[in-house]
Amino acid sequence: MKQILIATKNRGKIAEFKQFFATVNVEVVSLLDLEEPVPDIEETGQTFEENAALKAEEIAQMFNITVLADDSGLIIDALDGRPGIYSARYAGEPTDDKANIRKVLDELVEVPASERTARFICVLAIATPGEETLFYKGYCEGTIRTTEKGENGFGYDPIFIPQGYNQTMAELSPEEKNKISHRKNAISQLEKGIHSR
C-alpha cells in the first residue's frame, strides 16, 4: 500500500487524514509513528501558509521524501480574526483545548448571537525536496456557541456550529464532519489539483 507521511502530532488530525486517505488506499503515517521521536517544529510564521510550509519542509528535508503538513485554526470575526494562527497556543503552552475554548468563550461573553460568526481554515502544504512547496486551502463557515457541547472531534469543535446545522462539530459523527470540514475542503482542492499558491 502507498504511504504518505503527515508532519503532525495532532491525534485528531491524524484520525481525519486516515479516513480521507483510506478511500484512495493510501496509508497515513504521522510523526507519532516514527521510531525516533522528532522534536516539535516551532511555528514561527506569520501566516497559515508559512507555518504549514515550515512543518512540511523541515520533515521532508529530514527524511528526503514528500511530506504533507496541515496548519489550521479558527477565525472569529468579533475577535478581529483571533485566535487565527495562534489557535493551538491561544491560552498558552503546552496546548490545552479546554483552556483555549474557555478563553474564546470569555472573550465573547458580551457578543450577541448574530455577531458570533467564524470560520475554520485549513492550509495543507506538500513539500518535496528540491521542488516548490504546493498549498491547498479549505474553509468551513459557522458560528460560536456560548457553551460547549459534544464529545467528538478535537480542538474547538465543541463550540463551533457549522452553517446549516444546529449541532456543534463535536456532535457530528466523524463521517459527517469529514464531509463538510475545512480539512475536507482543502483535501478536495488537493484532489482537483487546485493549489492556492
Ligand X SMILES: O=c1nc[nH]c2c1ncn2[C@H]1C[C@H](O)[C@@H](COP(=O)(O)OP(=O)(O)OP(=O)(O)O)O1
State the residues that interact with Mg ion by CB under 5 A: 88
Residues in contact with 148: Cβ distance below 8 Å, sequence separation at least 6, in sequence order: 101, 105, 158, 159, 168, 170
Piece of the chain touching ligand X by CB under 6 A; list 4-12, 60-68, 130-138, 187-195: 4-12
Q: Which residue is nearest to ligand X (CB)?
A: 155
Query: Is the Cβ–Cβ distance between 4 and 13 less than 8 Å?
Result: no
Q: What is the DSSP string of 105-118?
A: HHHTTT--GGG-EE
If the CB atoms of residues 104 and 134 are measured against ligand X, the closer one turns out to be 104
Minimum distance of ligand X from residue 35's CB (angstroms) = 18
How many CB atoms are closer than 10 A to CB 43? Answer: 16
Question: Per CB under 6 A, does 8 bind ligand X?
Answer: yes
Give which of Mg ion, ligand X, none residue 30 binds (C-beta under 5 to 8 Å, depending on kind). none
Minimum distance of ligand X from residue 186's CB (angstroms) = 10
Q: Which residue is nearest to Mg ion (CB)?
A: 88
Residue 10 in marked binding region:
yes
Question: Per CB under 6 A, does 153 bind ligand X?
Answer: yes
Minimum distance of Mg ion from residue 112's CB (angstroms) = 32
Exposed, middle or buried: residue 146 (CB in 10 Å: 0-12, 13-18, 19+)?
Answer: exposed
Given the residues 71, 77, 80, 96, select the one marked as catalytic.
Answer: 71
If the CB atoms of residues 100 and 134 are measured against ligand X, the closer one turns out to be 100
Exposed, middle or buried: residue 15 (CB in 10 Å: 0-12, 13-18, 19+)?
Answer: middle
71 is a catalytic site residue:
yes
State the virtual CA torsion across 148, 149, 154, 155 in degrees, nearest 10. -20
Query: Is the Cβ–Cβ distance between 104 and 45 less than 8 Å?
Result: no
Annotated binding site: 8-13, 42, 71-72, 154-157, 177, 182-183
> What positions carry a catalytic annotation?
71
